[in-house]
A and B are shown apart, each in its own frame.
Chain A
Amino acid sequence: MSEHTTLSDLEAAIDNTFATDAQQASVDVVEPGIVTAVETLSMQQALNRALAEVLEENPKALVLGEDVGLLGGVFRITDGLQKQFGEDRVFDTPLAESGILGMSVGLAMAGYHPIPEVQFDGFAYPAINQIVCQVGRMNYRSRGTMPMPITLRVPSFGGIRAPEHHGESLESLFAHVPGLKVVSPSSPNEAYHLLKHAATRPDPVIFMEPKSRYWQKGPVDTSADGYSPEGSRIVREGKHLTLVAWGAMVARCLQVAELAAEDGIDVEVLDLRWLKPIDAEGLAASVAKTRRAVVVHEAPLTSGLGAEVAALITERCFGTLRAPVERVTGFDVPYPSGDLEDEYVPNIDRILFGIQRVLENRRG
């Protein structure tokens, strides 16, 4: 900016970081004509269903990535989609993540809505330059004329006894990048609706799928009646303490809440869902009620998203907090091999200890 930068210039720059709803490319929506119902699906099936519907409804939507076509993805998320929609819309790429994202940027510029897959969390590193310097910035750089409607699916987090690069949690890396939105579903129903939502947005969304939850089944209400994809959601109400989690840690925190109830502690579980933008008001509303908070994530402690959550809660609830916000997280080491991951990922006892420290107002 020039030396004559004004406040309105700065405001315009901020405005251009994200796309506006008006920038959403108009598409001819095919009337689904589906009789809606609640079905029991695994998260893998729910994601597959959502992708099929997005491809059906938006002729500009494309699915690309390593092994997503012929094989149907290593987790079968894209199973059958190439057969159904053809090789022009669901296609395999070379083993080069920078190319997958670079191609997606070009496709987005040309009016498509690419839905690339990076096969595993740890394979996103070779694409970081494209994600940070192109995906996140192109709308800003073009003064709001070139939105990047890219939905980047990343099978994420640990828990499946896989080798290096297959168990990492990159949410704070992505959340730190201006222009990106980041979301993680915690159940089949969330996966279905959040992916359909993300894949119709004009902004780039990093969609972090908790791979350890791919096979767990749950009810999916495809009607979307009363479903809101915005903000966080309370998955269990409680009055003594708020557990904040996302992805696979939500299910674990629900288990912890049931165990805490045996000891007379009524725990609220908040599924953050959007890791950027974070629903600060939802956090504040919950903690204003419970006055205590523990945030749980798999990623390393230092500069993890738990720090951001703790800051947001403290800024809004400092006067009512009974104790500092506690963080129960992975450790500041590379994600370990499968044999050690139960020691690394927050387990039930470590979360219970975190709750205990907050209840006693004792620093970890």
Chain B
Amino acid sequence: MAEISFPLPDLGEGLIEATVLEWLVAEGEQVERNHPLVEVETTKSAVELPSPQAGKVVKIYGGPGDTIKVGDPLIVFEVPDDTAGIVGTVPKEEAPRRRVRLTAALDDED
């Protein structure tokens, strides 16, 4: 298993921090991509952050009222090694399938 840390993104244009209002997931919880993670308030608005990926939540940073700086860790997920951060998908190992049969005769020297 691999751990992937997700930092607080810039939720507006040029914001430097956000304040946690309420965590919507708990450590140990398995979440799907886009599942609501946390409600935070910035100087512009209060927003709900969706999960950037599926995985098990192993750590969350900050409780209600705490301020987190943009770029600092927000949450850490645990994911299987072979899906960690990959672009594309892992090819499946399949038994070879064929439609072509070889028919050519060999010569005397074979």
A75 CB–B CB distance under 8 Å? yes
A259 CB–B CB distance under 8 Å? yes
With beta carbons under 8 angstroms apart, the residue of B86, B100, B103 that contacts A74 is B86
Give every chain A residue within 8 A of B88 (Cβ-Cβ): 160-163, 166, 211, 338
B81 CB–A CB distance under 8 Å? yes
| B4 closest partner in A (C-beta) | A71
| A252 closest partner in B (C-beta) | B96
| A79 closest partner in B (C-beta) | B2
Give every chain A residue within 8 A of B104 (Cβ-Cβ): 265, 356, 359-360
A349 CB–B CB distance under 8 Å? yes
> Mind listing 21 A-B residue pairs with CB under 8 Å?
A72-B85, A73-B85, A74-B87, A75-B86, A120-B87, A159-B91, A160-B86, A160-B88, A161-B88, A166-B88, A215-B82, A258-B96, A259-B96, A264-B102, A264-B106, A265-B104, A338-B88, A348-B98, A348-B100, A356-B102, A359-B106
Count of interface residues, chain A, beta-carbon cutoff 8 Å: 40
Count of interface residues, chain B, beta-carbon cutoff 8 Å: 25
Q: How many A-B residue pairs have CB under 8 A?
A: 78
| A351 closest partner in B (C-beta) | B100
B89 CB–A CB distance under 8 Å? yes
B101 to chain A, nearest CB (A): 6
Binary flags per residue of B94-110, CB closer than 8 Å to A gives 1, else 0? 00111111111011011
For chain A, residues 292 to 347, give those with C-beta under 8 angstroms from any C-beta of chain B: 322, 338
With beta carbons under 8 angstroms apart, the residue of A74, A162, A239 that contacts B85 is A74
A148 CB–B CB distance under 8 Å? no
Give every chain B residue within 8 A of A239 (Cβ-Cβ): 110
Given A255-B96, A291-B109, A260–B90 Cβ distance below 8 Å?
no
